[in-house]
Amino acid sequence: MKISVGIVDDKSQNLRSFTERLNISDDIAISLTASSGNEFLDQMKKLPFRSHPLVILMDIAMPGLDGIETVRIAKLLYSHVHFLMLTVFDDDDKLFEAIKAGADGYLLKNEKLAVIIDCIVQLSETGSAPMSPRIARKTLDLLIKASLPGAEKKSTEKKDYALSDRETEILKLTVDGYGYKMIAERLFLSSHTVRKHIANIYNKLHVSSKAQAIKIATNNKLI
Report whether pLDDT(148) > 60.
no
Do residue 23 and residue 86 come from a single domain? yes
For residue 155, what pLDDT is reported? 45
- Are 114 and 17 part of one and the same domain? yes
> What pLDDT is recorded for position 30?
96
Are 119 and 214 in the same domain?
no
Identify whether residues 110 and 210 lie together within a single domain. Answer: no
d(CA 42, CA 202): 35
- 75 and 9 in one domain? yes
Beta strands 55-58 and 105-108, pairing class: unpaired
pLDDT digits (tens, 9 = 90+) for 37-68: 999 999 999 999 999 999 999 999 898 899 99
What's the gap between Cα 45 and its chain centre? Answer: 23
159 and 117 both lie in a single domain: no
Give yes or no: residues 170 and 113 share one domain: no
Amino acid, res. 171? L
Q: Do 10 and 88 share a domain, yes or no?
A: yes
CB 152 within 8 A of CB 215: no
Question: Is 144 domain-assigned?
Answer: no
H-only helix segments in 47-179: 67-77, 92-101, 113-126, 133-145, 165-175
User: Is 142 a member of any domain?
Assistant: no
Maximum pairwise Cα distance, the chain: 52
Provide the domain limits for residue 123.
Answer: 3-130
Q: Are residues 163 and 117 in the same domain?
A: no
Best CA proximity match to 198, nearest among 171, 165, 172: 171
* Assigned domain for 137 exists: no
134 pLDDT band (50/70/90 cuts)?
low
Cβ contact 38:11 at 8 Å: no
CATH number at residue 194: 1.10.10.10
pLDDT tens readout for residues 107-123: 888 888 888 888 888 88
Kindly give the interhelix angle for 67-77 and 37-46, rounded to the nearest 10 degrees: 20
Q: Which residues contact 61 (CB under 8 A, 6 or more apart)?
A: 10, 67, 87, 88, 89
Are 22 and 124 within one domain?
yes
Whole-number Å distance between alpha carbons of 93 and 91 = 6
Rounded to two decimals, the pTM is: 0.65
Which CATH number does the domain housing residue 33 bear?
A: 3.40.50.2300
Dist CA 61 CA 53 (whole Å): 21
- Please check whether residue 135 lies inside any domain of the structure: no
What pLDDT, on the 0 to 100 scale, is given for residue 156? 44
In a domain, 106, yes or no: yes
Query: How many structural domains comprise the chain?
Result: 2
Please identify, among 98, 130, 162, the residue that sits at the C-terminal boundary of a domain: 130
| Each residue's pLDDT tens digit, 179-213 | 778 888 899 988 888 888 888 888 888 876 676 77
**Rg, Å, the chain Cα set:** 17
Q: Are residues 162 and 126 in the same domain?
A: no
Q: Of the candidates 72, 97, 130, which is a domain's last residue? A: 130
Same domain, 35 and 88: yes
**Looking at 73, 96, 130, which one is the last position of a domain?**
130
Q: Which of 114, 104, 112, 122 is nearest to 180 (CA)?
A: 122
Beta strands in the chain (DSSP E): 3-8, 28-34, 55-58, 82-87, 105-108
